[in-house]
């Protein structure tokens, strides 16, 4: 997929850069594989706002994606590549021999007519899924499980991938885009290839309205508020805060470590925060 620009017929078109989706399927999704998606507005099940800046946005249908890929040794044919409003990556509709269909994350270089298969050990080909312990060192993978049978959790966004860099203690060592290296259990499933739509990182929305369509609302700077509303607020004239950046509740932000999980610390070999050698 390539990027496309627009003629500057209006201020909102002048800097607009979007992904060219002309090659994708233009029809509606498979109805049996969709569900209604209720908006939360950043609220939890008690109605309390737990995520700020959420609300509004375009109405969406949720496409049920097969992240587990546990239908082993049953080849499926890619019928079409589709746009999914719920994620940055594209999705592929695959059909099995018995007539059932499923949506999977579409990797790069997967096209309609290709065959994909999942199993304990299958060919190392984009779209095929297998246990990560059966893949050779150096393989690029995505949609990686952290617990066997739970479904892929890592490397699912557009253009992302992980690389297998070694084996140790009966586990697989993978390197993420962030630079983090960690252990993954050998019986966890992973899909070969990098996720589709890598040009998503180069999109320029060009106007605030397009961000609102995504359900993201404006956030007011702390220094523009009163002291009762934010620790950075108040002061005569324009001030820059007067302290290290904090949240509205006084917790350090912008780089402060928040991870406290001793149970999974042992799985991380090299943190993404480790200082890089110059």
The proportion of the chain whose per-residue pLDDT surpasses 90, expressed as a percent, equals 90
Q: Is 231 exposed, middle or buried (0-12, 13-18, 19+ CB in 10 A)?
A: buried
How many other C-beta atoms can be found within 10 angstroms of the C-beta atom of residue 61?
Answer: 15
Residue matched to tokens 């630079």: 179
Predicted local confidence at residue 67, as pLDDT: 97
Predicted local confidence at residue 244, as pLDDT: 92
Does one domain contain both 102 and 191? yes
* Domain of residue 94, CATH code: 2.40.50.140
* Domain of residue 254, CATH code: 4.10.950.10
Whole-number Å distance between alpha carbons of 106 and 153: 15
Does one domain contain both 114 and 154? yes
Predicted confidence (pLDDT) per residue in 33-66, tens digit: 999 999 999 999 999 999 999 999 999 999 999 9
Does one domain contain both 179 and 238? no
Residue 49 in domain: no
Does one domain contain both 62 and 162? yes
Residue 7 in domain: yes
Does one domain contain both 100 and 34? yes
What Rg value do the Cα atoms of the chain yield, rounded? 22
Range of the domain at 259: 221-268
Contact (Cβ atoms closer than 8 angstroms) between residue 155 and residue 88: no
Predicted confidence (pLDDT) per residue in 115-127, tens digit: 999 999 999 999 9
Average pLDDT over residues 112-140: 96
Does one domain contain both 32 and 122? yes
Does 46 or 273 have the greater pLDDT score?
46
Residue 277 in domain: no
Residue 213 in domain: no
Does one domain contain both 241 and 117? no
The residue length of the chain stands at 278
Number of domains in the chain: 2
Does one domain contain both 131 and 18? yes
In this structure, what token pair is assigned to residue 83? 């746009």
pLDDT class of 273 with cuts at 50, 70, 90: confident
Residue 68 in domain: yes
Does one domain contain both 157 and 241? no
Does one domain contain both 180 and 237? no
Predicted local confidence at residue 276, as pLDDT: 65
pLDDT over 60 at 278, yes or no: no
Predicted local confidence at residue 137, as pLDDT: 96
- Rounded mean pLDDT of the chain? 94
**Cα 217 to the chain's mean position, in Å?**
20
pTM over 0.85: yes
Does 92 or 256 have the greater pLDDT score?
92
Does one domain contain both 13 and 142? yes
Does one domain contain both 14 and 151? yes
Predicted confidence (pLDDT) per residue in 164-197, tens digit: 999 998 899 999 999 999 999 999 999 999 999 9
Question: What number of CA atoms fall less than 13 Å from residue 184's CA on the CB side?
Answer: 33
pLDDT over 70 at 277, yes or no: no
């Amino acid at each position: 997929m390539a990027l496309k620009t627009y003629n500057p017929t209006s201020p909102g078109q002048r800097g607009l850069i979007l992904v060219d989706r002309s090659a994708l399927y233009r029809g509606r999704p498979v109805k049996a594989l969709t569900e209604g998606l209720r908006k939360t507005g950043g609220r939890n099940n008690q109605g309390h706002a737990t995520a700020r800046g959420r609300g509004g946005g375009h109405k969406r249908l949720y496409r049920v994606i097969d992240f587990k890929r546990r239908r082993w040794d049953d080849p499926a044919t890619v019928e079409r590549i589709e746009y999914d409003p719920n994620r940055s990556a594209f999705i592929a509709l695959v059909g099995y021999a018995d007539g059932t269909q499923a949506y999977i994350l579409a990797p790069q270089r997967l096209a309609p007519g290709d065959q994909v298969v999942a199993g304990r050990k299958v060919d190392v080909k984009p779209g095929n899924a297998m246990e990560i312990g059966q893949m050779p060192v150096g393989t690029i993978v995505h949609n990686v499980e952290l617990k066997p049978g739970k479904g892929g959790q890592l490397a699912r966004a557009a253009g992302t991938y992980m690389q297998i860099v070694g084996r140790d203690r009966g586990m697989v060592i993978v390197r993420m885009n962030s630079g983090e290296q960690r252990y993954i259990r050998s019986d966890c499933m992973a899909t070969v290839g990098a996720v589709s739509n890598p040009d998503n990182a180069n999109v320029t929305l060009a106007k605030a309205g397009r961000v609102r369509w995504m359900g993201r609302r404006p956030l007011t700077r702390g220094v523009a508020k009163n002291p009762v509303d934010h620790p950075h607020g108040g002061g005569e004239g324009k001030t820059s805060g007067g302290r290290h950046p904090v949240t509205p509740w006084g917790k350090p932000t912008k780089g402060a470590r928040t991870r406290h999980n001793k149970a999974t610390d042992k799985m991380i070999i090299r943190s993404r925060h480790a200082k890089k050698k110059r």
